[in-house]
Amino acid sequence: MTESKKKITDAVEKNSSLTGQVTQSDEVQKGPMSFLSGSITSGLFAWLCLELSKRIVAYFTIHPPVYSSPIAQSIATGFKTLVVGVCFLATFTFGFIGLGLALVFIRSLFDAKNSDPA
């Protein structure tokens, strides 16, 4: 019984030491091009979400939910509000991330010029 516990303990220690080595050696610093490509990608997603949001609003404007039951009408209106809200939330989120990455890109350009080569 103690031999099996020792083997398990050794295996866990070996695994944790290997994991620690991998995470320490894989630290890669992001550069300005990474920020720029992320900003462009996020801006593209924001634009696509905005177009989708506009089309969803137009669809729900043309096709209003009409039900005889007040409960069904309330559920349909709530669902419509939820869908439109999520679409515009995605638009805002991608736009905000794109703007932030663009600012980080600009800042990284100034930091790269001020850093001293070693």
pLDDT of residue 111: 77
What phi and psi, each to the nearest 5 degrees, are found at residue 109? -70, -40
How far apart (Å, rounded) are the C-alpha atoms in residues 45 and 94?
Answer: 6
Q: Is the pTM of this model over 0.75?
A: no
Question: Which residue reads 């295996």 in tokens?
Answer: 11
Q: How many of the other CB atoms lie within 10 Å of CB of 77?
A: 14
Q: What is the pLDDT of residues 40-66, one digit of tens each?
A: 999 999 999 999 999 999 999 999 888
Q: What is the pLDDT of residues 3-47, one digit of tens each?
A: 666 666 676 666 655 555 545 545 677 788 999 999 999 999 999
Structure tokens given for 28: 């890669």
